[in-house]
Amino acid sequence: MGLFPELDEDQTIKNVKYYFEHEFPRLKVRSHMNIASIQSPSFDTVGTSGTTRNTQEDKIMGQLWATDLVKATYKMVERMPDGPDNHYFKTIIKYCFLYGKGNTVALEQTGYESSRYFECKRMAMLYFADSFSDYYDMEVNVMKNENSGV
């Protein structure tokens, strides 16, 4: 057994795609929520159920959490290796997911042939999942079971 648990690469890549295609856009919108849109607290207790939950605080905390994740996403992408000797990881993630330009534009930016581009894209997504794991867990580990032989 190695230093790190074995990674289910296909599922981890699916998680990265899902994050960028579904969750990241929602986080960006939520992180820019206008603080002024949050209502003032009401102290009128007539007709209330008596909940002790502070929904205004929940909204602010949710906005701060979303802002942190958006900033961390950009920071992690910016720190990814890039260039001809480093597989253009940053270029691929930026054009495919941050700029929303898709594979065609990212492929043109890297100058790779199609098969090499998709190989590097897989590596870039795995690299992102690993570097982003302190903020958001996307990695899926393969469980080794002695009885199953896996």
Count the neighbouring beta carbons within 10 Å of the beta carbon of residue 86. Answer: 14
Highest-confidence range of 25-34, 52-61, 104-113, 139-148, by mean pLDDT?
Answer: 104-113
- Counting residues of the chain whose pLDDT is more than 70, the rounded percentage is 77
Tell me which of 150 and 84 has the higher pLDDT.
84
Tens of pLDDT, residues 101-117 = 999 999 999 999 999 99
Residue 61 lies in a domain: yes
Residue 2 lies in a domain: no
Residue 137 lies in a domain: no
Tell me which of 4 and 45 has the higher pLDDT.
4
Residue 127 lies in a domain: yes
Q: What tokens were used for 99?
A: 């700029």
| Predicted TM-score (pTM) of this structure | 0.75
Range of the domain at 21: 9-34+56-131
Residue 114 lies in a domain: yes
Inter-residue contact 93 to 105 (CB < 8 Å): no
Count the neighbouring beta carbons within 10 Å of the beta carbon of residue 143. Answer: 10
Residue 113 lies in a domain: yes
Residue with tokens 């199609």: 114
Q: How many domains does the chain have?
A: 1
**Residue 14: C-alpha distances to residues 9, 29, 44 (Å):** 9, 22, 48
Q: Summarize the confidence of residues 118-127 as an average pLDDT.
A: 95
Residue 90 lies in a domain: yes
Residue 116 lies in a domain: yes
Q: How far apart are the first and last CA of the chain?
A: 12
Inter-residue contact 66 to 30 (CB < 8 Å): yes
Helix or strand holding residue 125 (H, E): helix 114-131
